[in-house]
Amino acid sequence: MVTILFDLDGTLIDSTKAILSSFHDTFKSLNFKNVEDEKILSLIGHPLDFMFLHMGVEEKRVEEFVSTYKSFYRQRSKAMTKWLPNAFEAIKEAHKFAKLGVVTTKTGRYSKELLEHMKALKYFEVVIGREDVIHPKPHPEPIIKALNFINSLKDKSWMIGDTCLDIVSANRAGIKSIAVKSGYADLKELRNCSTHIKECAFEAVKFIEKNI
């Protein structure tokens, strides 16, 4: 059976407002200079510790910033997150012919809570988050762990994501991938890392369905 792994932010969901407001409130709470939205958005897809380091936070304070961010994000994520266009339809369509999983650099626990709130967790056999691996994307570990959990064959597995982190991780794990234009990477960047590029997750799912 085919397996399809999805990234979350920019691939299935739009939690931009929750992310940006949580970062800004974290900076304000910890008396750190504010960072422009464009800089934050350019780093989405990376783990939080990586993001804060690349915003100028000292390494010794990163854990404090991550913890503060998570407390803000968890409070507002459900209310401030919505499906990307046709994303829920993509999940339901994929579920007809494939085993499904989520591979994200978000906290897995919160991702499961969010998907449950959005009435979609039941479609996924596994959710791999940041705390579930040592090495996040673009390392292959998260994808390999997801595939092993649901006993999937690499030659029948696909990754759908909106950044090159997703695509490179898939390549390194030895599975096929599709980039979508619904998220945070620009088209030029996606063309440098991906062979298949679709408008959204639903189009990516339909492409897989036609090519199995």
The residues annotated with a catalytic role in the active site are: 7
CA distance 45 to 59: 19
Residue 38 CA, distance from chain mean position: 18
β-bridge mates for residue 98, sequence order: 2
β-bridge mates for residue 19, sequence order: none
Torsion of CA 195, 200, 202, 205, to 10 degrees: 20
**What is the β-pairing status of strands 176-180 and 197-198?**
parallel
CA distance 189 to 119: 32
Alpha-carbon dihedral sign for residues 208, 138, 189, 65: positive
CA distance 26 to 197: 35
Which tokens sit at 89? 């339809």
207 and 196 in contact (C-beta within 8 Å)? yes
What's the DSSP call for residue 154? G
| Listed residue (144, 186, 142) closest to 164, CA to CA | 186
